[in-house]
Amino acid sequence: MEIYRTFEGQYQGVYLARFVNCPFYKTPEDYETELDKIQDHLQNPLYVRDFIKSSQSGWKKGSYKNDNLNFLVKQVLLESADLFDKLDKISEESLGGDCFETLFDEFIELSKSERIDDPGRRKMYTYDHGSFLRLYGIRLGNNAIIVTGAGIKLVGKMQGSSALKMELNKLDYLKDWLKNENITDCTEF
Amino acid sequence: MTNNLNSKVSKTATHWKVRAKNDRANRRNINRAQEFALDLMEFMETHKITQKELANKMEVSPQQVNKILRAKANLTFDTLDKIADALNVTISSPKIEVREKSYSRTVSTTMQVVHRHKQKEIAEDLNTVMISKKNPFLSTTLENMNEYLDPVKEN
């Protein structure tokens, strides 16, 4: 497992994961981090269209099954640009001072029962309503989020899509890795 | 003994920031290329035309067609004409039309904020210096530690 900073000299805020020794998933060599990979995929109309059409997305099992394919692809492409703008803003805002509120408000728990889990599985929406995309990460202590991946969510539950199940496994793997390495926070001392 | 996350971090990711900056600057071009790619994909799927077949008809490499479908190609009139001839279709030429002013700029901006997360200008300097709100007098250094170690000397 490799963890990257988003800024030189950073000691809190948004961090990025790269999966290297994970038995079931490896970040492709072409990409610096998982975020780099997501950015490339979600801006690629060929990838997004093929992905939604495939059984991995769960499109035909979810509530968008009657929506036009190209309409969904266009929405995802437009939203991904906004998602990266939002993450860029959050990563800058969380650099100085107490960033607990910023990270806690924007990255919410995956399920209500894990609200106080530390390390805990978290997700970020692009918009307050109607987001197709989710950014996933692990919250560590009060001042750090480690981004593990993203997903196009067209199903009610993550278990309804094989791609989202993989995102769950990646989250769990990082959470266990942090526990095994006894990493509890990102404070200076 | 517990570990600090920062002790495990040795690298800084730069690619996504650079890409985000470039994409923001070229958003209109990217959106156009993406929409064209989607139209093309739909046409190819309907008429069961593969990327390789289109490349052969256009007399370009399959990689070039793939680049167009990934919205990575800088489309020229020449390329558009090749696609049109290969598929026996018409690709409409750009036209100059006066923008309609159906509502004021203020209303337009407000609508944008309501419907979409407002895009903000973000400083792009990758070497941004961190602004720490910590009191500098509270930081422990060898110099100020000496005061505690040898208080008699002060008197």
pLDDT tens track for A41-58: 999 999 999 999 999 999
The pLDDT of residue A98: 73
The pLDDT of residue A9: 84
Question: What residues have CB less than 8 Å from A126, skipping those under 6 apart?
Answer: A79, A82, A83, A86, A133, B117
**Count of Cβ atoms closer than 10 Å to residue A169 Cβ:** 14
Q: Do the domain assignments include residue A189?
A: no
Q: Is the pLDDT of residue A17 over 70?
A: yes
Q: pTM for this one?
A: 0.81
> How far B155 CA lies from chain A's nearest CA (Å)?
32
Q: Which of A58-81 are b and which e, b meaning 16 or more Cβ less than 10 Å from the residue's Cβ?
A: bbeebebeeeebbebbbbbbbbbb
Q: What single letter denotes the amino acid at residue B46?
A: T
Residue A91: give the domain boundaries.
2-181
Q: Do the domain assignments include residue A112?
A: yes
Q: Do the domain assignments include residue A103?
A: yes
Rounded-to-integer distance, Cα A114 and Cα B135, Å: 34
pLDDT tens track for B87-125: 999 998 888 988 876 666 666 656 665 555 545 555 555
The pLDDT of residue A29: 94
Q: Is the pLDDT of residue B154 over 60?
A: no
Rounded-to-integer distance, Cα B107 and Cα A74, Å: 25
The pLDDT of residue B146: 61
Closest-approach residue (CA) in chain B for A74: B35
* Higher pLDDT, residue B155 or A28: A28
The pLDDT of residue B82: 96
Average pLDDT, integer, range A133-152: 94
Q: Do the domain assignments include residue A187?
A: no
Residues 68-87, chain B, touching A (beta carbon < 8 A): 69-71
Contact A42, A76 (CB under 8 A): yes
Average pLDDT, integer, range B73-91: 95
Q: Is the pLDDT of residue B152 over 60?
A: no
List, as own/partner pairs, every contact residues A21-27 make where C-beta atoms lie below 8 angstroms and the sequence separation is at least 24, other chains included: A22/A170, A22/A173, A24/A169, A24/A173, A25/A166, A25/A169, A25/A170, A25/A173
> How far B54 CA lies from chain A's nearest CA (Å)?
15
The proportion of chain A whose per-residue pLDDT surpasses 90, expressed as a percent, equals: 77
Q: What single letter denotes the amino acid at residue A3?
A: I
> How far B42 CA lies from chain A's nearest CA (Å)?
8
Hey, are the CB atoms on B15 and A46 less than 8 Å from each other? no
- Please confirm whether the linkage preceding B94 is cis (ω < 30° from 0): no
Give chain A's domain count.
1
Closest-approach residue (CA) in chain A for B115: A127
Q: Do the domain assignments include residue A25?
A: yes
Average pLDDT, integer, range A121-131: 94
Residue from A11, A4, A24 nearest A171 by CA: A24
* Higher pLDDT, residue A98 or B139: A98
Q: Which of A105-109, B19-23, B60-64, B123-127 comes out lowest in average pLDDT?
A: B123-127
Radius of gyration of chain A (CA): 16
What are the strands, taking DSSP E only, across A68-132? Answer: 108-109, 120-125
